Amino acid sequence: MGGTILVVCILVLIVVGAVISSAKHFKGEGGCCGGGGSVKVKGDKIKDVVAVKTIYIEGMHCSNCSDRVQNALNSLSQVNAKVDLKKKQAVVKLGREVSDDELKSCVERCGYSVTGIG
């Protein structure tokens, strides 16, 4: 009887963990949030580059993570971003003045941490 209760408790813990993880996944909050291929948003073609900034990012674990960040940055006006997963950074070409705060909040809305902008 005691062994059965132990097995049931372990199974309940596993199911609860799986449900929590699945809920985060479907809300796009999980560490690796992609399943299928994502459509890449192309950044604006910038004729006159005003500045180039490098954003250092923590929390990206796979190509879906880097695609998510790149798409978010490229959705900004006059921004062309290229994210490098291995280097944990995004190189951003700007066709207008964009504040570090705007870039940081864009990345953080995706669920990742910005450790610096240079």
Question: Is 101 within the bounds of a domain?
Answer: yes
| Domain that residue 70 falls in | 51-117
Predicted pLDDT of residue 24? 64
**What pLDDT score was predicted for residue 27?**
55
How much is the pTM?
0.68
How far apart, in Å, are the Cα atoms of 59 and each of 13, 49, 51, 91, 93?
Answer: 26, 28, 25, 17, 22
CATH number of the domain to which 79 belongs: 3.30.70.100
Per-residue pLDDT tens digits for 50-70: 999 999 999 998 888 999 999
Model pLDDT for residues 81-104, shown as the tens digit of each residue:
999 999 999 999 999 999 999 999
- Count: domains in the chain: 1
pLDDT confidence bin for 20, thresholds 50/70/90: confident
- For residues 39-48, give the mean pLDDT: 78
What number of residues does the chain have?
A: 118
